[in-house]
Amino acid sequence: MAGHGFAAPPIVSTNEEYNNGEDFTQPPARWDLGYQFENKGNDVEQNTFTLRRDQPFLLNDEWKIATRFDIPFVQNDKTSRDNPEGDTHFGTGDILLQAALVDTVTDHFAWAAGARMVFPTANEDQFGAGKYQVLPILGARQKLPGISVGSFAEIILRYDTDVGGYGGRSHIKQFQFSPTLNIALPDRYFVTLFPSQDFVVNLQDNDKWFIPADILLGRNITKNTVASLELSVPIVKQCLLYNFKIEAHISFSF
């Protein structure tokens, strides 16, 4: 009837919120097992298996410190001083440490600032960058309960630069970011647009851009177990990060 409006119902009818681990400002204490396949171009394919540990430390009701530790194991066929024939080798990659101070300002808004450090621990040249890297990080998240309980929008900014390392390896200077949208779906499923900070401006190479189409589908199998699958392909490829990426995770929180 004329004069009557109808509001669209929310996507999710439940009032229970599940932490899927995609929120930078709300990391669970967890172990995460990750697998990533990348077609990196130039006839190079890479498989990366990562053991990740997240541990937040509560300071009070508003503030916490979020920490992260990654140990990667890499298989690829990239040529290097350690692999001049381009054979397929397997070994350890570069260890990652991260810490961020999180301010939960309101029930819906939070922000965080911190730094990531990457150490050149790869046992062969082709498995890592060969540089000590420092990445300042700034992120902010706004929950979107009008869409569904558990949905949120988030922006994460990183600046990646090398501060030393092995001679002969390329210098690193990149701006990395992601405009992330996470939508909670029925039955504990969720979809996340642009979950990885793969929007890149390569400041070391005339400010060339890399922008992917990046989507993740996941599910909170239980309150403490999350599985996800991410697919990414470039739509702007002025610099080469990858031609195709698929990434799978299963995490166990406690």
Q: Is residue 10 part of a domain?
A: no
Query: Residue 68 sits in a domain of what CATH number?
Result: 2.40.160.40
Q: Is residue 15 part of a domain?
A: no
- Residue 181 predicted with pLDDT over 60: yes
Q: Is residue 20 part of a domain?
A: no
Distance CA(253)–CA(108), nearest Å, equals 22
Tokens (6 digits) for 126: 């082709």
Q: Is residue 198 part of a domain?
A: yes
For 107, the domain range is 30-77+89-253
Residue 226, H or E segment: strand 225-237
Q: Is 186 helix (H, G, I), strand (E, B) or coil?
A: helix
Distance CA(202)–CA(115), nearest Å, equals 19
Q: Is residue 51 part of a domain?
A: yes
200-221 mean pLDDT: 97
Percentage, residues of the chain above pLDDT 70 = 94
> How many Cα atoms within 13 Å fall on the side-chain side of residue 100?
28
- Residue 8 predicted with pLDDT over 50: no
Task: Check if the beta carbon of residue 185 is closer than 8 Å to that of residue 192.
Answer: no
Distance CA(36)–CA(23), nearest Å, equals 20
79-102 mean pLDDT: 96
pLDDT, tens digit (0-9, with 9 covering 90-100), for 136-158: 999 999 999 999 999 999 999 99
Within 10 A of 67 (CB to CB), how many other CB atoms are there? 17
Q: Is residue 196 part of a domain?
A: yes
Q: Is residue 101 part of a domain?
A: yes
Domain total in the chain:
1
Q: Is residue 116 part of a domain?
A: yes
65-92 mean pLDDT: 96
- Block residue for tokens 């929950």: 143
Beta strands in 93-130 (DSSP E): 95-104, 109-119
pLDDT of residue 200: 98
Distance CA(133)–CA(148), nearest Å, equals 38
Q: What angle do CA 213, 214, 220 make, to 5 degrees?
A: 155
- Of 183, 104, 90, nearest to 139 by C-alpha is 104
pLDDT of residue 15: 62
Give Cα 21 distance to the centre of its chain: 10
Contacts of 78 (CB under 8 A, 6+ apart): 40, 44, 46, 86, 126
Q: Is 243 helix (H, G, I), strand (E, B) or coil?
A: coil
Task: Check if the beta carbon of residue 143 is closer than 8 Å to that of residue 107.
Answer: yes
Tokens (6 digits) for 60: 């009070």
114-128 mean pLDDT: 97
pLDDT, tens digit (0-9, with 9 covering 90-100), for 49-77: 999 999 999 999 999 999 999 999 999 99
Distances (CA, A) of 44 to 76, 79, 81, 206, 234: 7, 9, 16, 24, 16
Report field, pTM of the whole predicted structure over 0.75? yes
